[in-house]
Structure 1
Amino acid sequence: MTIKTILIPFSDEESSVRLFQAAACLAAFYHAHMRFVHLLQRPLPAAAYTYPVALNYTHDFYTEMEAMAQKQAKDMEDRFHELCAQSDIQIVTSAQHSDAKGATASWEVFDRAMPYGYTAIARLADLIVLAKPEPAAPAWQQGLVEEMLFQTARPVLMLGETETLAKMPQRVVLAWNGGREAARALSAALPVLKHARHVDVTTIGKINSNAEPPESVVAYLALHGISAQISHLLLKRKDDPEMAFVEHAARQKKADLVVMGAYSHNRWREVVLGGFTRQMIRESSVPVLMAH
């Protein structure tokens, strides 16, 4: 099991460098191909106005937005070429990639709705790399992490607000509750865990008595040549499990990656009641590898 195809939604200048650095780090290590994908971004025209004013306004509005969308796509393409040149990464199609070429990259622009247009493309990626959405980011960007998790069945690496991966993660905290999402995240993270120096299998409170305990996870990892330790976070009645985990990850000598299952509850429950995944997306300052 390895990583050979990495998909990177390349939509804004703010996160472009961090996304490129993280993807390039992984691609160089695994001799993988990076697909940088940009969707044309246009706001929808306003609702109906009195004819013929509405028709003219909508046409002019659409024309202006189309020009802006094309300019942004061109600016992001220029940025992509600049970053590839700085990192000495070959620009080839995925069909032209070979391990002998090391890390390679391609650029693609699609005219599809956001964020759903990204999800269909991402289903053939081994890993999706996204930046943590900023509080003021557009609504589609706020929901991109969730859409990728729910609609692609692929693992997602979410970078922190300022953090990236300049080197392969060496200190990894793995959240374990015995659930299927945690198992999927564990499986997706194996290529990374094999090269980490320190892996911490962490449980929060009591896990289901029918679930495999963390000791079984350690034994499973040992079969893959990975040495791991166990941490049990014991919670008091008023303790917040999400913040307890965030603080634990921070205490692990500055862990540089968190691995966890995402949305073990239904999405409506997460939206209405809040939940572990949403809290981690909001609070984590280190990259998080998630799977649903």
Structure 2
Amino acid sequence: MSYKTILCVISASQGDNDLKQALTLCEQNESHLAVQVLGIAAPPPVGTYAATVSETWAVERQADIERLSQRVKEVNEIIARAQVSADVDSVFVERTVVDDVVGRRARYADLAVIGADLRNNEDLRGPVLNGLFFHAQIPAMIFPDDRPMALVASNIMIAWDCRLEASRAVHEARPLLAAAGNVHVVMIDPEAGERADGEEPGADLATYLARLGAKVTVERVTSSGRSVAETLQRRAQDMQADLVVMGAYGHSRLRERIFGGVTRSMIEEPAVPVFMAR
């Protein structure tokens, strides 16, 4: 099992960093790169002054379409200089349906990579991740600003809570886990019991991972009043993890949006690369 098709989503207005890193990643892993370039359409004018501004809106819309076309041309030129199998898809779309558009494209990929440029784009980051996790249900690898993209990790931390989302992440990350030197199963404030995290929390997962050939350590960590996200970030740094594997959106998206959550915190300020799935 490997990631033979990797998706990279970029906006028409962002630079080349994410694209170039994704090309290098695919070259290293002999993977096909699927690139989706998004042009975001401004909503049409409505209300009292709609007729007055409609001509200006039409001119700006045409300029945005031309900008997307030029960006696609630039992307194809960059790809042509690389020794990588790749295809480019471009879409001019309103922001409200970005998640659906990304999700439809992502159904034909094994993994999506989120580079620093897209991760720091607050307008697009959320819709793109929603498209990956909810419309396509493929995993995503999210990279901090200072980390090049890579699919090799020797010291992996799994944020484990026995939920379906965490289980999905572990299964999707099997190629990485099997190749890692050390795998740490970290549980925050686990509760022992048949209807909770098991009689010996983390033991069942450790047994499963050992069959993959992984060298596994189970750690049960007390949060001591800190948030789960902060506790995970600190533990990842303390153990010098190369990668964190975790489930995405264990709670509803509405609850995450209102109150924040582990998913949101780990995406916005990742200490190390994060592999997420739902």
> Do they fold alike, i.e. is TM over 0.5?
yes
Cα drift, residue 40 of structure 1: 2.9
* Structure-2-length-normalised TM-score: 0.86
State the alpha-carbon separation in 1 of the partners of residues 150 and 119 from structure 2. 25
Aligned partner (choices 189, 208, 216) of residue 220 of structure 1: 208
TM-superposed deviation, 1:192: 0.9
- Is the contact between residue 65 and residue 92 of structure 2 (CA under 8 Å) also seen in structure 1? no
Deviation by residue 1:132-179 (Cα, 9 ceiling, x = unmatched): 567862523343223321221111111112322346111111110111
Q: What is the Cα deviation at residue 14 of structure 1?
A: 5.3
Uncovered stretches (5+) of structure 2, i.e. residues with no partner: none
AA at the equivalent of 1:219: T
RMSD across aligned positions (CA): 2.6
Partner Cα separation in structure 2 for residue 18 and residue 134 of structure 1: 8
**TM-score, reference length from structure 1:** 0.82
Do 2:8 and 2:19's aligned partners in 1 also have CA atoms closer than 8 Å?
yes
**Counterpart Cα distance in 1 of 2:267 and 2:6:** 21
The answer (yes or no) to whether the contact 1:204–1:234 under 8 Å persists in 2 is: yes
Q: Deviations over 1:18-50 (max 9, x none)?
A: 454356435633x32221121233323433565
Among 155, 170, 173, which residue is 1:186 paired with? 170
Where do residues 1-292 of structure 1 align in structure 2 (5 Å cutoff)?
Answer: 1-11=1-11, 16-22=16-22, 24-25=24-25, 28-29=28-29, 31-48=30-47, 50=49, 53-82=52-81, 84=82, 88-89=83-84, 104-113=85-94, 114-132=98-116, 137=121, 139-166=123-150, 168-207=152-191, 209=193, 210=195, 211-212=197-198, 213-236=201-224, 238-253=225-240, 255-292=241-278
Q: CA deviation at 1:4?
A: 1.7
What amino acid sits opposite 1:245 in the alignment?
L
1:94 corresponds in structure 2 to none
Aligned to 1:101: none
What letter corresponds to residue 239 of structure 1 in structure 2?
A: R
Question: How far, CA to CA, are the matches of 1:167 and 1:188 in structure 2?
Answer: 13
* Residue 22 to residue 196, structure 1, CA distance change in 2 (3 Å): farther
Instruction: Write the letter of the residue equivalent to 1:61.
Output: E
Distance 1:231 1:274, change over 3 A: same
CA 1:154–1:207: 2 relative to 1, 3 Å: farther
The amino acid of 2:86's aligned partner reads A
Per-residue CA deviations over 1:182-218 (Å, capped at 9, x if unaligned) read 1000000001111111111110112463234211111
Residues in 2 aligned to 1:59 and 1:185: alpha-carbon distance in whole angstroms: 44
Give, in whole Å, the separation in 2 of the partners of 1:27 and 1:183: 29
Given the superposition, is the C-alpha separation of residues 41 and 14 from structure 1 closer, same or farther in structure 2, using an over 3 Å criterion?
Answer: closer
- 1:229-258 Cα shifts (integer Å, max 9, x gaps): 11221122x2222101101001112x1211
SS of equivalent residue, structure 1 residue 194 = helix
Shift of 1:15: 6.2
Q: Give 1:17's aligned amino acid.
A: N
Q: Distance in 2 between matches of 1:243 and 1:38?
A: 34
- CA gap 1:229/1:38 in 2 versus in 1, 3 angstroms: same
Distance of 2:19 and 2:232 partners within structure 1: 25
Task: Report the more deviating stretch, 204-213 or 9-18.
Answer: 9-18
Mapped to 1, the partners of 2:14 and 2:101 lie a distance apart of 21
Deviations 1:37-66 (A, max 9, x none): 212333234335658644432332322222
| Aligned-partner Cα distance in 2 for 1:280–1:116 | 23
Distance 1:20 1:115, change over 3 A: farther
